[in-house]
Structure 1
Amino acid sequence: MSYVNPADFAKKMIDAGEAKVFMSTKDTLIRAYMAGAILALAAAFAVTVTVNTGEPLIGALLFPVGFCMLYLLGFDLLTGVFTLVPLALIDRRPGVTLRGMLRNWGLVFCGNFAGAFTVAVFMAIIVTFGFSEAPNAVGEKIGHIGEGRTLGYAAHGAAGMLTLFVRAVMCNWMVSTGVVAAMMSTTVSGKVIAMWMPILIFFYMGFEHSIVNMFLFPAGLLLGGQFTIMDYMIWNEIPTVLGNLVGGLTFVGAMIYATHHKTSPRRAADATAEAPVRPAAVPAE
């Protein structure tokens, strides 16, 4: 059967987290770089589709192709390691330490950012013909996304920051569900179908994904978006990273670990419960 039951994929989650802690620096950076680049390209693709069709749902339906590609190629997103690596620490796997976990997170963050920024530069060149003319419609859209998701939150003060954080929490709730869902199947088609659904939800709902934003906001700045680097960091990237951490670890990793790996003993039958009343036998005449 292609379906993997929850107890088995819960163990696979912990094994994956352990493997990432001990991965070499070179491999961690390369895999993170490629993950950031592919996801950024998928985001650029989705924005282009949305602009050309005028229908955001079509862009959202097609965006998960990038997530599926990077997962099947074995690349790593920060949102995924936020969910998987802590489980190896919680499970007390030999040699897994807090320092090792933070090292993995730091390397993946740097690799993701470098990959996403590379695509941001490439797309800025494409939509401006090498910065020789004003951005086309896709470029203008990317610039406005950056403005709305920094200055738009800042305009609401603390309420805006709360909204940003909650959107980031819900984003990685869905994205990490996609990561875990891929472990539920042993076939490529099964993995793709399982991943597609939660990724579609996060993108269409406009939730905040730290790696997608590593593309959208630098690209927006390159294309003349009316916001600053500090606006980007304070009113998006930093709160989004923290929200992604909380969402993935709390609502996906910890919940699956608690109920499918550290399963509590089954309740004993209640001895004081009354025995069912059986109808008296009718005597024969």
Structure 2
Amino acid sequence: MGYQPPKKIAQIAAETGKTKAELPLQSMLPLGFLGGAFISIGYLLSIRVTGDLPAEWGSFASFLGAAVFPLGLVLIIVAGGELLTGNMVAVTIACLHKKITARQLFANWFWITISNFVGALFVAYVFGHLVGLTETGPFLDKTIHTAEAKIETEFWQSFFSAIGCNWLVGLAVWQSYGAEDISGKILAVWFPIMGFVAIGFQHVVANMFIIPAAIFAGHADWGDFIQNFVPVFLGNAAGGALFVALIYWLAYLKADPTTLSDKKETYKA
């Protein structure tokens, strides 16, 4: 399996972020829908795998759920999709490297947030509620318990948990840029995503699925969702933009003379 060194990954990430920011809205919105739906399908799979496992299995049950959850990001990376937390890395480093403007960055984050939410809501309502995959027996209990744990977490706990989440998710996306074949990309994604889920960090798009699933089951409300969304969004933004994009930009791209011509071309544009 071929791979790229870290400095090359940084250059690829900046170019990828530029491409993402320049997507027309008619491409960005359906790809964002897929991103939210794919992450939600991965979460739904995790619930179905772990929902009726015996309590005696302890943390091993959590590991099994974490082991299958990466399906969502694998689908996004390999099949295609736009994910807010990944874009918090790629689009940010493109902005830091002067390939796009701050206005383009925030526009991308806005539209991908909206379209990810629609995709997640679709899976929560259609598969979770209408089909009943999150509303029967132990799967309902698992959904409610998981959603309540996120809702009941205090603001700063949620914020810092979300930083940890998107530090790992951002690194998963980052590593996937360094892989040159599908198997390499899957392997690059699996370990960091499994890690953040097993640890219990909070992911804003995943929460767009699990909390509405509990709402549709009558065990939470939209005020609970907003209360969770704000700190988790901010924490994910800090984790991806600061702990991945900014650090690697400072390390590999800021003072790199080989990229100065690219910057000049961007200014002319």
TM over 0.5: yes
Greater CA deviation, 140-149 or 243-252? 140-149
Alignment check: 8 A CA contact 1:140 1:223 kept: no
Which segments of 5 or more consecutive residues in structure 1 lack a partner in the other structure? Answer: 154-159, 266-285
State the secondary structure of the residue aligned to 1:231: helix
Q: CA deviation at 1:198?
A: 0.4
Aligned pair count reads: 250
Q: Is the 8 A contact 2:97 2:249 kept in 1?
A: no
Q: Is the 8 A contact 1:144 1:220 kept in 2?
A: no
C-alpha distance in 1 between matches for 2:255 and 2:182:
29
- How far residue 263 of structure 1 moved from its aligned partner, in angstroms, is 4.9
Q: Is the 8 A contact 2:133 2:139 kept in 1?
A: no
Residue 261 (structure 1) aligned with residue 253 (structure 2): yes
Residue 87 (structure 1) shift:
1.5
Equivalent in the alignment of 2:239 = 247
Question: Could you list the runs of 4 or more consecutive aligned residues of structure 1 that deviate by over 6 angstroms after TM superposition?
Answer: none
Q: 2:226 aligns with which of 230, 233, 251?
A: 233
Identity between Structure 1 and Structure 2 (%): 29
Structure 2 residues without counterparts, runs of 5 or longer: 55-60, 258-269
What residue is the counterpart of 2:263 in the other structure?
Answer: none
> Out of 207, 213, 224, which is 2:207 matched to?
213
1:217 aligned counterpart, secondary structure: helix
**The residue matched to 2:131 in structure 1 has which SS?**
helix
Scaled by the length of structure 2, what TM-score is found?
A: 0.88
The one-letter code matched in structure 2 to 1:240 is V
Q: Give the corresponding residue for 2:7.
A: 7
Rounded Cα–Cα distance in structure 2 between residues aligned with 1:190 and 1:138: 33
Aligned to 2:23: 23
Distance 1:146 1:168, change over 3 A: same
Distance 1:242 1:19 in 2: 24
SS in 2 for 1:52: coil
Contact map agreement 1:124 1:223 (CA 8 A) in 2: yes
Rounded to whole Å, the distance in 2 between the matches of 1:120 and 1:140 is 15
Code of the aligned partner of 2:250: A
Number of the residue aligned with 2:120: 116
For 1:66-115, what per-residue CA distance to the aligned partner results, in whole angstroms no more than 9, with x for missing partners?
Answer: 2111111221110011111122221112xx22221111111100110000
SS at match of 2:81: coil
Distance 1:45 1:261 in 2: 39
- Asked if the contact 1:185/1:191 (under 8 Å) is kept, the reply is yes
Task: Identify if the C-alpha distance between structure 1 residues 78 and 128 changes in structure 2 by more than 3 Å, giving closer, same or farther.
Answer: closer
> How far, CA to CA, are the matches of 1:185 and 1:120 in structure 2?
32
Of 71, 75, 93, the match for 2:81: 75
Which has more helix, going by share of residues? 2
- Distance 1:125-1:140 versus aligned 2 partners, 3 A rule: farther
Structure 2 match to 1:274: none
